[in-house]
Amino acid sequence: MPSEDCYGVLGWPLGHSASPILMGRLFAERQLTCQYELLAYPDYPGILGLDREHRQLMGFNVTLPYKIKVYEEIFFESRKNAAWSLSPEALACGAVNCVRLHRDKFGSVTGVRGHNTDAQGFAAALAVLEPSRLAGPALLMGDGGASKAVGHILQTMGIPFSQLSRKATNRPIPTASGQTLIAWEHADDDLIHGHPLIIQCTPIGMWPLATAVPPLPPKAMGGIGPHHRVMDLIYRPERTLFLEQCEARGAHVLGGWTMLKEQAIASLEFWLA
């Protein structure tokens, strides 16, 4: 691989990102001389806009808040341009966290492939959190791009789930895919107690705002107990305040580092395939 090839992570903000260090280690292990950059954009630049500013970019990861925007751009472009496509995993998740750019000998982009490695990463992390198969039901906190991959894996495993969402207001909303959207303010101790698997999918509690916790009503945390398995997708800090609160009530907990590492390995394999 030419030394001028580079990869990166697209998102905003990116001050918390461990991806450059993690991907740098993976490059070194495979004796690759490519670079990995932070592609920090407060407004979505579009894939071709990103290309105009980074002419050696061969692929990039996508983090908040752009996983769904990238998916939508590739999806609509693919309807008129066969050189743009989405992998089955990305289509199943409805979100993209990994993009590969195809270039001709002059360096022009000739094709774009969107993929989702979050699903693979989450499945690996879930096996660490609970090696025995969980029956559920699960409760997803948040409905952003990361939650799409989580929901996809849960559906694949046959684990029913509900989802806390700002889209729900006065009453739970059933969705076409079978889960139920519940307003955050309607979460109580009975709801929490009845969902032994909880996945925190929002950026709430991420560095530098590490003292923040998800906006659950105070009484809701009373439903957490030793029968719970709780995962927070945040990896910085490695253990969020929310996880510490759950662990103090007897729950088994896991931070986001395992998922980050597994999806990074899958991203590199996708780029080099």
The domain ranges of the chain are 6-116, 119-259
Look at residue 169 and tell me whether its pLDDT is greater than 90.
no
CA–CA separation, 202 vs 206, rounded Å?
9
The confidence score (pLDDT) of residue 132 equals 84
Place of tokens 């022009």: 108
Look at residue 20 and tell me whether its pLDDT is greater than 70.
yes
Surface-to-core class of residue 241, CB atoms within 10 Å of its CB (0-12 exposed, 13-18 middle, 19+ buried): middle
The confidence score (pLDDT) of residue 135 equals 81
Look at residue 1 and tell me whether its pLDDT is greater than 70.
no
Look at residue 236 and tell me whether its pLDDT is greater than 80.
yes
The confidence score (pLDDT) of residue 176 equals 47
The confidence score (pLDDT) of residue 220 equals 96
C-alpha 137, offset from chain centre: 20
pLDDT tens per residue across span 184-198: 999 999 999 999 999
Residue 80 identity (one-letter amino acid): K
The confidence score (pLDDT) of residue 177 equals 54
Look at residue 133 and tell me whether its pLDDT is greater than 80.
no
The confidence score (pLDDT) of residue 2 equals 43
Using CA of residue 240, residue 243, residue 249, residue 250, what is the dihedral sign?
A: negative
Pick among 3.40.140.10, 3.40.50.720, 3.30.460.10, 3.40.190.10: CATH of 119-259: 3.40.50.720
CA–CA separation, 213 vs 68, rounded Å?
24
The confidence score (pLDDT) of residue 174 equals 55
What architecture does CATH give domain 6-116? 3-Layer(aba) Sandwich (3.40)
Look at residue 269 and tell me whether its pLDDT is greater than 60.
yes
More confident residue, 230 or 134: 230
Instruction: Note whether 6-116 and 119-259 share their fold.
Output: yes
pLDDT band (50, 70, 90) for residue 214: very high
> Rounded to two decimals, what is the model's pTM?
0.90
